[in-house]
Structure 1
Amino acid sequence: MKTTAGWILGALALIAMSQAEPAPAAAPEGWTSRSPREEIRPQFSYDPKGGRNGAGSFLIAHDRREGLQGCWTRSFFVEGGRCYRFAAVRKGRGLDLARRSAVVRILWRDENDKPVLLDTPWERDVLKGFPATAEAEHPTDQGTDAAGWTEVSGVYRTPSKARRAQVELHLQWAPGGSVEWSEVSLQEVAPPGPRKARLATIHHRPKGKTAEENRAGYVPLIESAAKQNADLVVLGETLTYVNTGRSYAEAAEVVPGPSTKFFGDLARAHNLYIVAGLIERDGPLLYNVAVLLGPDGALAGKYRKVCLPRSEVEAGVTPGNEFPVFSTRFGKVGLMVCYDGFFPEVARHLTMNGAEVIAWPVWGCNPL
């Protein structure tokens, strides 16, 4: 009797355990988890009811150890020379920098799952004999909704020899963090239409003694660029200050002001964009700025130089702290000024903010 009772209690305990801890859900067919080494493998799971729309999600979680790294991965069939759009959404928790830790990688492979070569080989005067292998693609963050889901997407043309796309959904270097990936797709799309723009720079050091004379010196050069069908013309830095003998404070002007009016009229007359370097006065503060004038003649944007050389600090110039990007008829334009280009931060921030072209008025910087 005691044996029977013990058997019944044991069976009931097993039933209760099975009800309390259901077996982990299997990932959809074709998806597997991977880590470079078992000792740095994170925890993987699949939630069939997870994700933004409840259709399922791939989860990766890190404990508090440093250096954990792994991904969910799947191979998709593709045709070479076609365009494909990858898209997914992710939601991170406890991530210091999601775009560094929760990333997507797409690798192009042939029918034997081997890396493919680029359609256009590298220049052969360097690295002779080194294979020009197609590099991985890294879809970028597009936007985050109110619930915290970020779209990660991009459109890519496959190398002609590609037959498979190996998609990897990563979480790396995120102690205590986790990520949920969902709505993963790779679909063929029509090739993007061409966006052609002609960009011009004017190498000119003004020799006038006044702001008016310095501005006027650019007129024939802008006209020449316009005759060559330029869409964007970039002028020099602090052009109303150069060689005038005036101080920064004496050369400064409000923005919008006389210089933006002058170059805005030229932009409208020639149906193009102009970027000019000026010194801006805003109350008691001076800024080294780049301004963008549109083909309608209006001020389309302004950027205040962030990285100041010692001479500008000594002159009482104030650094900027924003990295705006402006929409134009040919794409998104960011601005930076001279010394900004000696450091990576400004260009990096502009790129992160969506800049496709960076216009860069400079004092000299030859031979750049």
Structure 2
Amino acid sequence: MMTVSIPTLQLTELIVFMTCGLVFVYGWFLRRDEFSFLCFGSNYLISAAITVGFDDFGRYGSWLSSLGWSLTACMFWVGFRVFDGRRPLTPVMAVLTLLPALLHVGLAAIGRDAETVNTVSTLAYAQLEAAIAIYVLSTSRGSAIRRIAGLAQAAIAAALCLPILPFSPNVEQLTVVIVAINDHVTSIVLTTAILALQSERAYAALEQIANHDPLTGALNRKGLDRELKKERKVAGVIVADLDHFKAINDRFGHAAGDDVLREFVKCAKSVLPEAAILARLGGEEFVIVLEGHDRHATVFLAERLRFTLQDKPIAWNGHSIAVTVSLGVEMTDDGAEVVAAIERADAALYKAKISGRNRVQVV
């Protein structure tokens, strides 16, 4: 019959939990705004302490053990929710966290045998781990890394149930080893996945900074060039320029001018379809690319943008700043000549300017 060395399992699990915990705590120490890392690190460090304090692999002889493991799992869930920018704790999470210990205490109080108490509390704890897995998987948003993290979490839930299945004594000992090895592997996988998700998010933030105008949030020239490299269908192109923008800066100050630019982008986003490309070329000039729109639809949106902006003066320090815009419209034939179409639309914009401003000029 196989014999299992509980101290050996405790030692290896302690090393894995401590290592993962210290990695996250160090990450939090470097960036104190990453509270999720503190949650993840606390989960592993407390798990390490529980591993030393209770030699109950597969069996929870004390309600304190059930509560301890449930609290660490909840910390992990809280860490993921904080990482996602959500409320850390929900009533459902609180109930699922306390349920294993409450069932343990309740069943013991009414005289149920230790085997029943262990089985029920184990299933409740596995339910908590499964709920975490469901949350991670359901919020993966197409991220392969996040799906890996969710599957690792699901593996924890599945492994927890192995020791309570009706196996022979020899196989039952093996399940304890499987639970321990599963803990080791999933801890490493989860730690690696979370660090990868953090890197993925940091890269996305850098991409946002590199490709967007920091003042208005619209694409900058680099972001526009990147979008124009994609294969596109026939598209409508609008080049827009705010009228008398220098006069606004001279009269109200550059801070007011910045606010006017931001409000123009907000106005444009409220009018344009979600798939529209909006970029700031520089100063007060913007370009809009409307894939799949014909000339009539493009002119209609240009006029709608002009009227919407004209009818909504911008409030600034007790003043009402009237803002108008001139727009040039052109079409692409097959999506391959967007840059040339922008140049032609810019020429149409110039005609709108010299024709009195606050108008749409079509090539």
- Length-normalised TM-score, structure 2: 0.19
Larger radius of gyration: 2
Q: Which has the higher strand share?
A: 1
User: What's the TM-score, normalizing by structure 1?
Assistant: 0.19
